[in-house]
Amino acid sequence: METTIPPTGSGESPLVDEIDLFVTTTDIRGAVVPLRLFDKVVYEKRYKQVYHFQYSPADDKPRNDLADENSPFLAFAARCTSSFPFAFEPMCVADAQRLCNARGNEDAVDFGEWKPFFAGLSTGI
């Protein structure tokens, strides 16, 4: 018995209603964040970073962070999970352009479209 997935509209998935994907990575340099103590504020580095990808085709506010145009950034985030300086070279956002070139897409990566993924993070872009 063959089962087929019914076709859907553009950008819609017949398999799920919504997806929330959290990718936890390590920022080798760390982001300086304030830490409030009882009597003062001190600053320390936070090395954990989390990227949130969503797929939600809701009519009121549709969002698809897993679309093809975000594949280089998703690959960047996935590669950041395995960054360990002695075994794997750490990734940087500029490497996303190299990933696009490897896919045969010579168009420049629009890093501005990726800024929402960095909300609350200390970045250089």
- Express as a percent the part of the chain with pLDDT over 70: 66
pLDDT category of residue 99 using cuts at 50, 70 and 90 = low
Reported as a single tens digit per residue, the pLDDT across 52-72 is: 888 888 767 788 888 887 877
pLDDT number for residue 124: 40
Taking residues 90-109, what's their average pLDDT? 68
What is the mean pLDDT of the segment spanning 79-87? 69
Residue 96, number of CB atoms within 10 A of its CB: 22
Between CA 14 and CA 8 the distance in angstroms is 6
The residues near 108 (Cβ < 8 Å, ≥ 6 apart) are 97
Is residue 24 predicted with pLDDT exceeding 50?
yes
